[in-house]
Structure 1
Amino acid sequence: MSALVLGAVAVVLLNLYAAILVVLRSRVYGVALYRPMLVNIGLSFLPVLLALVFGVGLVGIVPAISSTAQSAIGAGTLVVWIYLVVATVLWLLLFPNSVYLITELNFSHRAEKTPVPLWYDIVQTLALTLSGIANAVLSLAVVQTMFILMVDPPSGGVPASSWTFAGVVIVLGAVGVYLGRYLRFNSWDVRHPASMLRKLVAHLRQRGKALEAGGFVLTHALLIALLYVPLFSLAWTALL
């Protein structure tokens, strides 16, 4: 358990380090503060907070319901499942914000002529990207653990169904990153699904865009999966 706590602390420190580097870039080299990076760090960490809050809420709601007479007729179980579905959907809408930081490696914040050394921007942007990946891994690990406990209690190893769940989330996360980077969609744009669908269809009809989108999603999803699977397996072993 101490290893898991250490990992969570390391993720928080990585986010703080990335934010500090963004601020110091402005203070030390006298350039404008690139506020979008700070906003993106906050958005990237939101899935972690949401996963932890929903996890704590689940721990509290299950005993509360099981102690009532309603659970005897199945109403309590229904409430738990509604809670799980709503919480997971809300978390899933925010999850791409973490993986999105991979796209900051394009150095779009760096002007052609700048007093900021290239080595500094490399470290700053790499820290930013790694913080996003770390947030994605930690938040998905929390949600996958809840999935295992509520849907497919383990008899030893990690249940295959939970790996399927994690795989779907990772692919959807990559899709969300593509939509955010190239179509400039935000999580809250789901309030207008018809408009989103029209823009997406128009985008994919452009020559080569469907192939580009497929390649983007595949490469990004594989990258996250190659990092996530061994890390979660090690964490699960430590938890047991």
Structure 2
Amino acid sequence: MLFLFIGAAILNVYAATLVILRAAVYRTRLYRPMLWNIMLSALPILLLALAFIALVGLLLVNRLLAFAIVTILGVAWLLMLPNASYLITELNQSHRAEGDPVPLWYDIILVISLAMSGVINTIVNVFVAQLLYSVVMFDDRAVSFFRPRSMIALAVVLLLVGLGMYLGRYLRLNSWDVRHPTALVQKVITHFRERGNALACFGFTLTYALFIGILYLTIVTPIVVGMYELELARQ
């Protein structure tokens, strides 16, 4: 499990390094939005870390306060989570301009690194969230990852991630736009009144949710199986 976190950190640093070297080596403009998106991608896991600290530190002192803080942080985490996977959409190569001096091969590996760091960041976030869920609901049993409630919650979260990515890419909405709910709702309604947008959103959301879900199960299942075998060995 530790290697998953280390790998995610290394991949984020590698992607950020490629962005910086692109400007330094090829004497081109530093594409700051990519660096900003990498930072936003890592932010949700920090919120989960705070939730874990609150859960462990306050659970024995005041159970109600612990759950209240965890709930607030959980909502903030869910709002920020699409930022983790948003890096996938950098694959559109929107940063390249006509006559760009940067070789295409460099930008290909750059955007793939960004996309994969977004995928891994999302997987780490959801995995840690499931760990917290198992601690609260099932006393930290690894088998709880595969319970129906846990799998349904996983599907809902991934669908919300896909929806958040769509809103960010096509409506240019950000997580902090919830501070202006009236303008936010009006913008969303206006968008979906246009013919074809609802269907496009459905296809985008489902496709990306399935993509991340398949990768999530591929990476996380061996880790959970190892945790379960360790539990059995300790009994």
- TM-score, with length taken from structure 2: 0.92
Aligned to 2:132: 146
Q: Distance in 2 between matches of 1:102 and 1:38?
A: 14
Unaligned runs of 5+ in 1: 66-75
Structure 1 position 155, deviation (Å): 7.6
Q: Distance in 1 between matches of 2:69 and 2:214?
A: 30
Structure 1 contact 55–142 (Cα < 8 Å) conserved: no
Provide, for residues 85-125 of structure 1, a one-character-per-residue CA deviation record: whole Å limited to 9, x for no partner.
11110111110001111110000001121111100000011
Aligned to 1:40: 37
Q: Distance in 2 between matches of 1:193 and 1:57?
A: 28
Structure 1 contact 152–161 (Cα < 8 Å) conserved: no
Structure 1 contact 51–143 (Cα < 8 Å) conserved: yes
Q: Distance in 2 between matches of 1:164 and 1:178?
A: 21
Aligned to 1:224: 212
Q: Distance in 2 between matches of 1:50 and 1:155?
A: 22
Q: Distance in 1 between matches of 2:65 and 2:178?
A: 25
**1:28 is aligned with what amino acid?**
V
Counting aligned pairs with the same residue, the percent is 43
Q: Distance in 2 between matches of 1:155 and 1:147?
A: 11
Equivalence map 1:154-193=2 (5 Å) = 154=141, 156=143, 158=145, 159-193=147-181
Equivalence map 1:109-124=2 (5 Å) = 109-124=95-110
Q: Distance in 1 between matches of 2:142 and 2:77?
A: 27
Q: Does 2:83 match 1:97?
A: yes
Q: Which moved more, 1:200-209 or 1:229-238?
A: 229-238
Provide, for residues 154-191 of structure 1, a one-character-per-residue CA deviation record: whole Å limited to 9, x for no partner.
48452221111111111111111111111111111111
Structure 1 position 57, deviation (Å): 2.4
Structure 1 position 79, deviation (Å): 2.0
Q: Distance in 2 between matches of 1:48 and 1:137?
A: 10
Structure 2 contact 22–30 (Cα < 8 Å) conserved: yes
Unaligned runs of 5+ in 2: 229-235
Q: Distance in 2 between matches of 1:32 and 1:106?
A: 18
SS in 2 for 1:221: helix
- Larger RCO (CA within 8 A; separation ≥ 6): 1
Q: Distance in 1 between matches of 2:143 and 2:78?
A: 27
From 201, 204, 209, the equivalent of 2:189 is: 201
Q: Distance in 2 between matches of 1:224 and 1:234?
A: 16
Q: Which moved more, 1:222-231 or 1:34-43?
A: 222-231
Aligned to 1:211: 199
Structure 1 position 84, deviation (Å): 2.4
Q: CA RMSD in A?
A: 1.4
Q: Distance in 2 between matches of 1:116 and 1:155?
A: 47
Count of paired positions: 226
- TM-score, with length taken from structure 1: 0.90
Residue 80 to residue 53, structure 1, CA distance change in 2 (3 Å): closer
Structure 1 position 51, deviation (Å): 1.4
